[in-house]
């Protein structure tokens, strides 16, 4: 992924997250500081992450994945926005017990140009704001 450092920076800049690498893939993490969440009464940092890996240098397409954390009232809007752009929803559910407010996690996937995927994700995230 060494040569994809610049691509990872661009990917993260479009999404609005912090770039990084984990397991050989580019990961962009968004911290939703505006959500004051707790688990069992203790503060909890709400994050969403979006990544790409297995970049085909010939086609420019990669496996693009995402795991987003949403308030219940944001779920339908995000799902509609992401599906309208041809990105697959692979799961929807909560991950924690005793969290406040209730958080719903949505996993997405697509094989796409990473920057195109990032723009689609950004548009869907903008729809919930």
The full DSSP string for 66-79 is EEEEEEGGGHHHHH
pLDDT at 4: 64
CA–CA separation, 35 and 96 (whole Å): 15
pLDDT in tens, 22-80: 988 999 999 999 999 999 999 999 999 999 999 999 999 999 999 999 999 999 999 99
Q: Give the global pTM.
A: 0.93
Q: Which residues contact 110 (CB under 8 A, 6 or more apart)?
A: 64, 86, 87, 88, 117, 120
pLDDT at 3: 56
The full DSSP string for the chain is -GGGHHHHHHHHHHHTSEEEEETTEEEEEEE-TTS-EEETTEEE--EEEEEEES--TTT--EEEEEEEEEEGGGHHHHHHHHHTTTPEEEEEE---SSEES-EEEEEEEEEE-HHHHHHHHHHHHHHT-
The percentage of the chain sitting over the pLDDT mark of 70, rounded to a whole number, equals 97
């Amino acid at each position: 992924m060494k040569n994809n450092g610049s691509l990872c920076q661009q990917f993260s800049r479009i999404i609005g997250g912090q770039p990084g690498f984990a397991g050989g893939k580019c990961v962009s993490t968004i911290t939703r500081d505006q959500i004051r969440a707790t688990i069992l009464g203790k503060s909890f940092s709400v994050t969403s992450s979006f990544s790409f890996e297995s970049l085909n240098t010939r086609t420019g397409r990669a496996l693009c994945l995402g795991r987003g954390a949403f308030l219940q009232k944001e779920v339908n809007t995000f799902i509609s926005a992401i599906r309208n752009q041809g990105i697959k929803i692979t799961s929807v559910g909560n991950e924690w017990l005793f969290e406040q407010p209730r958080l719903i996690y949505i996993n997405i996937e697509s094989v796409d140009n990473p920057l195109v995927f990032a723009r689609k994700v950004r548009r869907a995230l903008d729809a919930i704001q």
